[in-house]
Structure 1
Amino acid sequence: MAKDTGTTGGVEIRPVAGYIGAEISGVDLADGLDEAQVAAVRAAVLRWKVVFFRGQRLDHDGHVRFARLFGEPVVLRKRGSASPDEHPEIETTADRLELGGRFGMEHDEWLRRRRHHPLRGWHCDHGARIDPPAATILRAETVPPYGGDTTWSNLAAAYAGLSGPVREFADGLRAEHRLGVGYQPRAGDDAYVRHLLDHQVATLHPLVRVHPETGERVLFVNGYYLEQIADVSRAESRLLLELLLEQATRPEYTVRFRWEPGSVAFWDNRATIHLAPSDNAHLGHPRTMHRVMLTGDVPVGVDGKPSEAVVGTEPGRW
């Protein structure tokens, strides 16, 4: 485990919050990393869950090369027109602006219908899959002069912060994570509802997963995909999820990052959830980010049992 503050192989690690987040300096990601530097960055990601690099000069090629030092990049079958054709591993966040239009809505309306509750926006990437990505590396190209920050929360710390009886209770539960959970349909015909029904993805995940590298127990909850806790009533599930989501997003377990052009965030998607910004759309400033995700494994619960596919998902197929 990485030391809280220090330098290893020229990599300087400086924590920025009590439970999560560290800034890394002393490396130029475009020049590549040696084995000691890769090990130091990997250890920092595992320790601090999300790490930040500033002032980097990565292009698309360099972004993918850096990602490959830590795993196999995901290649998405479908991306929007903003993503680079010659780099199938990279998804550009500007693609999101196109999605509402595909279903007859302005982007703002589509977003409001998907995130109508304050906790709905919190998510891990592709959490409805049976094998969510292990990590995400996000690079800022163009950012607004203010606004547009991203926030992450440490789910291992959130689990540890529960009382003993609640931890023991949660250890034995499973929950269904489903694409499109909580979406508020339009009156009459809704093209997005039809899309969800035709392309549904759902998985029964352990409510507490064991991290495959650190052995930590992680409170595997999020507001964006989590549908229902299994084997309890819907009323009980609603109250339990409210309790656990509030625990997972308590301010002391979070870190907020102010983006600059050339900033890179690298986070453990198995042990964090994050909240994309919603304070910049009205400003009219562009925000262009590029994302590479690393392939992940099937979560395993405290009982040693892996997640179970419900519909529309197979390990390794995107």
Structure 2
Amino acid sequence: MPQTPTTTELGLRQAAGFIGAYVDNIDLAADLDDVTVEQLRLALYKHKVLFFRDQHLDHAAHVAFGQKFGPLAVRAREQDTDELAPFPQILTISPQLDKQLVGADYEAVFRNKWVTSISGWHVDASQVVNPPAIAFLRAEKIPAFGGDTHWTNLVAAYEGLSEPIRKMIDGLQAEHTFWPAQQLDPADPVEKKALDMIGNKRMAVHPVVRVHPETGEKALFVNPSRTARIMGMNPVESRKLLELLFEELTRPQYTVRFTWEAGSVAVWDNRSTAHLAAADIDHLQDEIRIMHRTSTVGDTPVGPDGFTSYAVAGEPLIEPAVAGSSPKETR
């Protein structure tokens, strides 16, 4: 008789007061049974981000693990190296690879042009009409120090607001683009190339508060890096309200900080968190840092009043095409 798969004991350990948990006693490269995957999913919804140490994932195992949580999206940038060509779902985040492929570390270019000290906080691809739902980031090579990542709980941030503010923002919408956090100079050749490379290919209008499709929780759905303006407000009103919301969602009590090691993996719910990469990595010019990320194709956000996000420009996230077919679009 075939044996019934044994459910893994996750060994959850809380990482911070409002967000994050470490998961022990699990091998993400193993063929996890459905019950264990569901345990991980429920733990993710509760803690918003999960941390795993000492994992041994190659690209194929990374993709296989992520696909247990939903269809994975095509990576956000062209990285058609021999290593990555078979894995269009994987985005490699590495200054060394960026310099090799496009001639500059554009992540550092953007960080050096932040307009405020919190500009780096972002929800992945919130300028897209269906931002990623769940993200999976693994560390292959890490410097001896530096390059930590912070996450913040956007549900807790919403709940921390006063009732009058919550009632007001429940019915508001905001425009998201790639550029609100940076002021790049088109007269500078490197910055001009960044502007031309990114452009405004994707823009979307989202509810300021989104309802999580699985838990029903309300979460702030604005972020300093991608949210350009509140719709229907004049520029002063929009700026002042966004400043208030940005200050709330970046309060230290809602955050957790993770120090990477080779073999570490973080999994986060992109619908209820924002995150920040520590900019100190830009000072470690001679250090090798190689990270790999996949993300599930997201649903289209919906607000408490029923407002549904819409695209201003660009295409939604899609799955990679299967040989002989067109790419799949998920809404």
TM-score, normalised to structure 2, is 0.87
**RMSD (Å) for aligned C-alpha atoms:** 2.3
- Flag the 1:31–1:191 CA change in 2: closer, same or farther, 3 A: closer
The one-letter code of the counterpart of 1:147 is G
Query: Is the 8 Å Cα contact of residues 300 and 308 (structure 2) preserved in structure 1?
Result: yes
1:76 alignment counterpart: 75
**How many angstroms does 1:180 deviate by?**
2.0
* Matches of 1:277 and 1:312, distance apart in 2: 29
The one-letter code of the counterpart of 1:277 is A
2:194 alignment counterpart: 192
Alignment of 1:234-273 (within 5 A): 234-273=235-274
**How many angstroms does 1:111 deviate by?**
3.1
- Flag the 1:261–1:163 CA change in 2: closer, same or farther, 3 A: same
The one-letter code of the counterpart of 1:181 is P
Query: Is the 8 Å Cα contact of residues 79 and 95 (structure 1) preserved in structure 2?
Result: no
Aligned residue-pair number: 309
Matched, 1:112 2:115: no
2:171 alignment counterpart: 172
**How many angstroms does 1:32 deviate by?**
2.1
* Matches of 1:141 and 1:103, distance apart in 2: 22
2:60 alignment counterpart: 61
The one-letter code of the counterpart of 2:210 is R
Query: Is the 8 Å Cα contact of residues 177 and 202 (structure 1) preserved in structure 2?
Result: yes
Query: Is the 8 Å Cα contact of residues 211 and 218 (structure 1) preserved in structure 2?
Result: yes
**How many angstroms does 1:61 deviate by?**
1.0
Helix, strand or coil at the partner of 2:257: strand
Matched, 1:144 2:143: yes
2:229 alignment counterpart: 228
The one-letter code of the counterpart of 1:310 is V
* Matches of 1:103 and 1:165, distance apart in 2: 49
**How many angstroms does 1:29 deviate by?**
1.0
Query: Is the 8 Å Cα contact of residues 100 and 110 (structure 1) preserved in structure 2?
Result: no
- Flag the 1:187–1:101 CA change in 2: closer, same or farther, 3 A: farther
2:206 alignment counterpart: 205
Give structure 1 stretches of 5+ with no counterpart. Answer: 1-7
1:88 alignment counterpart: 88
**How many angstroms does 1:79 deviate by?**
2.5
- Flag the 1:10–1:182 CA change in 2: closer, same or farther, 3 A: closer
**How many angstroms does 1:92 deviate by?**
0.5
Alignment deviations for residues 242-299 of structure 1 (CA, whole Å, 9 cap, x no partner): 1000100100100000111111000000000000121122123211111011111000
* Matches of 1:103 and 1:229, distance apart in 2: 36
**How many angstroms does 1:96 deviate by?**
8.2
Matched, 1:44 2:17: no
Choose the corresponding residue for 1:307, options 306, 309, 319: 309
* Matches of 1:250 and 1:14, distance apart in 2: 22
2:280 alignment counterpart: 279
Alignment deviations for residues 215-259 of structure 1 (CA, whole Å, 9 cap, x no partner): 000000111110000111100111111100010010010000011
2:31 alignment counterpart: 32
* Matches of 1:105 and 1:26, distance apart in 2: 36
**How many angstroms does 1:98 deviate by?**
2.3
**How many angstroms does 1:109 deviate by?**
3.7
**How many angstroms does 1:36 deviate by?**
1.8
The one-letter code of the counterpart of 1:175 is A
* Matches of 1:238 and 1:150, distance apart in 2: 27
Query: Is the 8 Å Cα contact of residues 103 and 191 (structure 1) preserved in structure 2?
Result: no
Query: Is the 8 Å Cα contact of residues 152 and 275 (structure 2) preserved in structure 1?
Result: yes
Give structure 2 stretches of 5+ with no counterpart. Answer: 1-6, 319-328
The one-letter code of the counterpart of 1:209 is R
2:322 alignment counterpart: none
The one-letter code of the counterpart of 1:242 is E
The one-letter code of the counterpart of 1:203 is A
Choose the corresponding residue for 2:291, options 289, 292, 308: 289
Helix, strand or coil at the partner of 1:29: coil
* Matches of 2:159 and 2:78, distance apart in 1: 37
The one-letter code of the counterpart of 2:20 is G
**How many angstroms does 1:85 deviate by?**
1.6
* Matches of 2:106 and 2:298, distance apart in 1: 33
The one-letter code of the counterpart of 1:129 is V
Query: Is the 8 Å Cα contact of residues 96 and 105 (structure 2) preserved in structure 1?
Result: no
The one-letter code of the counterpart of 1:289 is M
